Structure 1
Amino acid sequence: MFIILVYDANEKRVSKFHKICKKYLTHVQNSVFEGEITEANYRMLIDELRTIINNDEDSVLVYKFRTKKYYEREEFGIKKPSSEDIFF
């Protein structure tokens, strides 16, 4: 599956969120990651994030796409890396 993950975390935990997400996905913007991920790796990612999240201060949004067939990315301004840049 292809996902876009966005988090908003307390300053104390931002680097932990970033480190975990970077293991599984491509960092594309501040607190925004995207990429292809297997169901097993997705579960591991979410499990790791649950160990550090403070449910009263942090939030995580995950947008799931079954396939990239219906995914379109439009950019403006400074070009940031994309999960597609890794493969091409």
Structure 2
Amino acid sequence: MYVILVYDIGEKRVGKMLKLCRQYLNWIQNSVFEGDITEVKLKELQQRAKSIMKVEEDSIIVFKSRDLKWLEKEIVGKEKNELTNFL
């Protein structure tokens, strides 16, 4: 499945969350990630994120789609982290 993950995490924990999310998804902008991920890997990411978060203060929002082709992405202005494929 294709997901867009957005988080709002306290300043003291944001570095750990950034590092965690980069292990699973592509970083595209401050606190925003996207990419293909399996349901199992997404659940693993969410469980690991919960161990970093303070659930009464922090949040994660995950937008899911079965496939990237069902999403249209438009960028206005400079793209923070352009996705490239290296072979």
Q: Normalization by structure 2: what TM-score?
A: 0.91
Code of the residue aligned with 1:53 in structure 2: it is M
Give the length in aligned residue pairs. 87
Per the alignment, in what secondary structure is the counterpart of residue 81 of structure 1?
coil
Shift of 1:86: 2.8
The aligned residue for residue 31 of structure 1 is 31
Q: Which residues of structure 1 form unaligned runs of 5+?
A: none
- For the structure 1 residues 9 and 45, does the alpha-carbon distance in structure 2 shift closer, same or farther, using more than 3 Å as the test? same
Per the alignment, in what secondary structure is the counterpart of residue 85 of structure 2?
helix
C-alpha separation between the residues in 2 aligned to 1:40 and 1:52?
19
The structure where helix makes up a greater share of residues is 1
Summarize deviations over 1:35-69 as a string: whole Å, max 9, x none.
Answer: 00011211111110011110121110000001112
Q: Which residues of structure 2 form unaligned runs of 5+?
A: none
User: Which consecutive aligned stretches of 4+ in structure 1 deviate over 4 angstroms post-superposition?
Assistant: none
- For the structure 1 residues 87 and 42, does the alpha-carbon distance in structure 2 shift closer, same or farther, using more than 3 Å as the test? farther
Shift of 1:82: 4.7
Shift of 1:87: 6.3
Residues 24 and 37, structure 1, Cα contact 8 Å, conserved in 2: yes
RMSD: 1.6
Shift of 1:33: 0.3
Q: Normalization by structure 1: what TM-score?
A: 0.90
Code of the residue aligned with 1:14 in structure 2: it is V
The aligned residue for residue 77 of structure 2 is 77
